[in-house]
Every structure is written in structure tokens, then in C-alpha cells.
Amino acid sequence: MSDVFKLIRVIMYPEFSDEYWMAEALKRADIAEQHGEIPVGAIVVQDNQIIAEGYNLSITEHDPSAHAEMLAIRQAGKKIENYRMLDCTLYVTLEPCPMCAGLLVHSRIKRLVFGASDEKTGCAGSIMDLTRHEKLNHQIDVTSGVLGQQCSEKLSSFFKRRRAEIKAAKKAASSQD
């Protein structure tokens, strides 16, 4: 989409901006956090409607593949009764890992919009780019950094709190000796 068209769309339909949808993905990240999971949330949007959602559930489900994107894409496929998502956009609060970036290529999704970059496992540009790899059979239109600060602050405050909890638990355990 050209920048001019994007601008017109945002002015005419502010509720349909990337920021609007990312705020929806952030709400799903909150649900993950309520489950004691790393707060990552995702939604799939088609024709300006949320058709699927997902949030990290790896710990709860004992499933290393239960990432927000994975769950959202699976739900979207069931919803549209198609394993191809040519006219859909995935919004996710954190840059996809190699597994999820690979899944997005398989899904043929049109757009990926993510918030925070992931310098450790991000495969939409940080450590490598599977989403726009010229040798793969599908390239995705990627927008990064949408509500990026909010998305990364949510993660860093979660890890900070978890580290403090672990430290407190260790202290409590050692004082019982």
C-alpha cells in the first residue's frame, strides 16, 4: 500500500489504523500474562475485522509451538475454511520466531505487522528474515515498530517482575534453612 493511500485510510478510518489493531493484539498479550505466560498477543484481521486471536500458552499447554501467532493462524484457517490467508494481516506484539515466521510463509499471509523487535529469535529482520527471503516461494509485506515501545515495555516489565519474584522466592527458601 502506498504511503499516500495509508494516510488517507488513517484519516478517514482512524479505527482501522495499524496502531488500533496493535492495541487489540496488546490486549491478548495481557491475557497471556494473566496465565503466567510471556506476554505476547496476536490477531488476524481480514476486511477490517478480527477473525482470529491468539496469545502465548506454551507453559500452560506444555507445548513449545503454542505461540500467539501459531494459535491465531490455526484459528484463522478454521474460520475462513482455508489454509491460505492471502488477504489477511497478522498483528503480533513481538517479532515472530523462526517457527512462526515459517508458518506465516506457509499461510501465504499478505501482511505482517509487529510491535517490538526480538534481537534473540526474531526472524522478520532481526537475526534473519524468513518473511521476505527471496528464495522462498512467498514474501510478506512487513511493517515493524507499531506501538513498539508499548510492546517492548510490556515484555521488559514482565521479565523484571519475574526476576524479582524468583529472587524473593530464593531468599524465602534460604531463610528457612
Task: Specify binding-site residues for Zn(2+).
Answer: 67, 97, 100
Q: Which of 33, 53, 69, 95 is catalytic?
A: 69
Q: Which of 76, 97, 123, 142 binds Zn ion (CB under 5 A)?
A: 97
Q: Which is nearer to Zn ion, 10 or 99 (CB)?
A: 99
Q: How many residues does the chain have?
A: 177
**Interacting residue with Zn ion among 66, 71, 88, 100 (CB under 5 A):** 100
Residues 117 and 131: their CA atoms lie apart, in Å, by: 14
**Of the candidates 70, 65, 59, the residue with the CA atom closest to the CA atom of residue 32:** 59
- The answer to whether residue 81 is catalytic is no
CA-to-CA separations, 48 to 17, 43, 51, 78, in angstroms, rounded = 10, 12, 9, 18
- What amino acid is encoded at 49 in this protein? Q
Q: Is 154 in the site for Zn ion (CB under 5 A)?
A: no
If you search the block for the grid coordinates 524473593, which residue do you land on? 168
Nearer to Zn ion, 45 or 101 (CB): 101
Provide the annotated active-site residues. Answer: 69
Which residues in this chain contact Zn ion in the complex, by CB under 5 A? 67, 97, 99-100
